[in-house]
Amino acid sequence: MIARVAEHCFWLGRYLERAESTARVLQVTGTLALDAGLSPEQCWMPVLAVFGERARFAGLHGAAAEGDGERVQHFMAWEEHNPSSLLTALSEARENARAIREVVSIECWEAINEVYLWMHGEEGRAEFAQHRYGFYRHIRRAMQLCLGLFRSTMLHDTPLDFIWLGVLLERVGQTARVLDVHHHAFQQLPTGQHQVVETSLWLSLLRACSGFEAFMKRHQGRVTGDAVAAFLLFEPEFPRSIRYCLKSAHRYLAELHPPGTQGLPGARTEALGGQLLARLRPEVLTEPGVTIHGLLTDVVDATAAVCDSLSSEFFGSARALGSQSMSQ
């Protein structure tokens, strides 16, 4: 497979996962804003922080607008100059799929094209205006359909490996950002809050990572921040936990560059992925000076380094930089 095709496959996976994650975070935050009794800024500022868009948003609307839920949602849904907006992610996903139509199955192409046309047509705008929850649910289900169709309609060979590498590495970055920003924000809230309110905040974090039901099956009793963080970081059987995604991504990297292989690209990328995976274990939080925030920062930075290395070794480009960066 030529490098150009591999690159489009990788970014197709990343943009599909980014759109699903953005829709999920917006959907959960909208519900949280109604139920949790938090200030508007406490609800909506973390959304911008998760996607690294506070500066861009402030440049367009002013920092004081961070608590304006409608402006934040419009910015994260429709802003063309926001690389994490739903409009941008779906447009880029479709463009990458269009560039490799000979690789993507007809079922996958139709699913991507349908949600793209819906988003760019009057129907999507009307749904956003009239039924915000349904708008986000539509996009989430469309992205989940696309990812499922990849697994069930395409050959499980190298193109699909690169698509799934994009999905997994994007998911690592998104989960780490969501967990870091919300865990920090919730820990900074005034003490003495009613336990019901505190529990609802941690459950909202789980829902933002699609982990509520899975967490409840693993844990009983009071929901705490440390338990939620440990679950999203280390749970080996939850497909959105950081360790699960890194382990799966490293398996793909090892297949692309098997041990002892000489002359093939991927050695540095595989090594970086292995080093990050080896560090991400529950015992690391007991080491002196290690905090959840510090560990998550390391995860985000190291994952960005893996993506940069992958782009350099396999694609011969620095496309992981700039507007499409994991660390944007």
Q: What is the pLDDT of residues 183-194, one digit of tens each?
A: 777 766 666 555
For residue 64 the two structure tokens come to 């004081």
Query: pLDDT-based confidence at 157, cuts 50/70/90?
Result: very high
Query: pLDDT-based confidence at 13, cuts 50/70/90?
Result: very high
For residue 188 the two structure tokens come to 């900074």
SS (H, E, C) 77-122: HHCCCCCCCHHHHHHHHHHHHHHCCCCCCHHHHHHHHHHHHHHHCH
CA 1 to chain centre: 27
d(CA 256, CA 94) in angstroms, rounded, equals 26
Residue where the block lists tokens 């800024």:
41
CB 155 within 8 A of CB 113: no
For residue 60 the two structure tokens come to 């367009």
Mean pLDDT of 112-122: 96
d(CA 224, CA 230) in angstroms, rounded, equals 10
What was the pLDDT predicted at 327? 37
Residue where the block lists tokens 């970081």:
233
Average pLDDT in the chain: 89
Percent of residues, the chain, with pLDDT higher than 90: 66
Residue 321 has pLDDT above 60, yes or no: no
What was the pLDDT predicted at 194? 54
What was the pLDDT predicted at 317? 64
201-215 pLDDT tens trace? 888 889 889 999 999
d(CA 139, CA 196) in angstroms, rounded, equals 31
37-65 pLDDT tens trace? 678 888 899 899 989 999 999 999 998 89
CB 138 within 8 A of CB 77: no
Query: pLDDT-based confidence at 3, cuts 50/70/90?
Result: very high
CB 277 within 8 A of CB 296: no
Query: pLDDT-based confidence at 109, cuts 50/70/90?
Result: very high
SS (H, E, C) 227-272: HHHHHHHHCCCCCCCHHHHHHHHHHHHHHHCCCCCCCCCCHHHHHH
Single out the residue of 31, 57, 60 nearest to residue 45, CA to CA.
57
Which range among 185-199, 217-231, 307-321 has the greatest average pLDDT? 217-231
What is residue 314's DSSP assignment? I
CB 65 within 8 A of CB 40: no
What was the pLDDT predicted at 325? 42
Percent of residues, the chain, with pLDDT higher than 70: 92
What Å distances lie between residue 326 and 185, 188, 258, 306, CA to CA? 21, 26, 26, 10
232-276 pLDDT tens trace? 999 999 999 999 999 999 999 999 888 777 777 889 999 999 999
